[in-house]
């Protein structure tokens, strides 16, 4: 029975990921979850008491996995420049991944404090790593630079997701160039 419940919970989370990646947080509704999984709507409530609870669990499950992928790419780089490049490239390489799309949708949505805290914690390790790399590159305000750099990454993510005219690899290269050289490089 417990195994069956965990399978159904997994199916609900998968359905939530695809709904988020297709239509953002507005698409994530209990009727839609019930329809995707073939469960009765009342059954969905047995697993999650609210949409926020679904989002919170996705944060707990997906954010650390996503962050670990970016972190291991950064750890594999031997120079601060390499770490910055890995930070940008690894995030953009995950754009097609449903987990990443769910993460992006979640990040831009209205979340309760518990979910926001979990996201901050998962992001915290990444931000610390990139702040350190930017400091090693001589940035006087590496924390501010890290926030601006993430803004470039987020804009590149949106551009790739919109299916812009440019190839995703061209968008990625441009984002890496901006990250490493600044806009006047």
Report pLDDT digits (tens) over 37-86: 999 999 999 999 988 888 888 878 887 888 888 999 999 999 999 999 99
Residue in 94, 36, 27 with CA at minimum distance from that of residue 65: 94
For the chain, give every domain's residue range: 1-48, 52-184
pLDDT at 165 over 60: yes
Other C-beta atoms closer than 10 Å to the C-beta of 75 total 11
* CATH number at 52-184: 1.10.357.10
Class for the domain spanning 1-48: mainly alpha
What is the DSSP secondary-structure string of 23-68?
A: H-GGG--HHHHHHHHT--HHHHHHH-SSHHHHHHHHHHHHHHHHHH
């Amino acid at each position: 029975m417990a195994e069956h419940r965990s399978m159904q919970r997994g199916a609900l989370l998968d359905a939530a990921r695809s709904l988020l990646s297709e239509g953002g947080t507005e698409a994530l509704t209990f009727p839609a979850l019930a329809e995707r999984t073939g469960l009765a709507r009342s059954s969905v409530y047995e697993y999650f008491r609210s949409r926020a609870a679904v989002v919170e669990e996705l944060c707990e499950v997906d954010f650390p996995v996503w962050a670990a992928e970016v972190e291991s790419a950064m750890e594999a780089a031997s120079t601060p420049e390499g770490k910055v490049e890995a930070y940008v490239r690894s995030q953009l390489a995950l754009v097609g991944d449903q987990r990443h799309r769910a993460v992006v949708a979640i990040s831009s949505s209205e979340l309760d404090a518990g979910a926001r805290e979990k996201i901050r914690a998962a992001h915290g390790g990444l931000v610390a790593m990139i702040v350190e790399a930017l400091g090693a590159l001589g940035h006087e305000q590496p924390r501010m630079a890290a926030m601006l750099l993430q803004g470039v990454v987020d804009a590149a993510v949106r551009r790739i997701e919109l299916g812009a005219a440019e190839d995703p690899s061209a968008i990625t290269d441009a984002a890496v160039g901006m990250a490493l050289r600044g806009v006047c490089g």
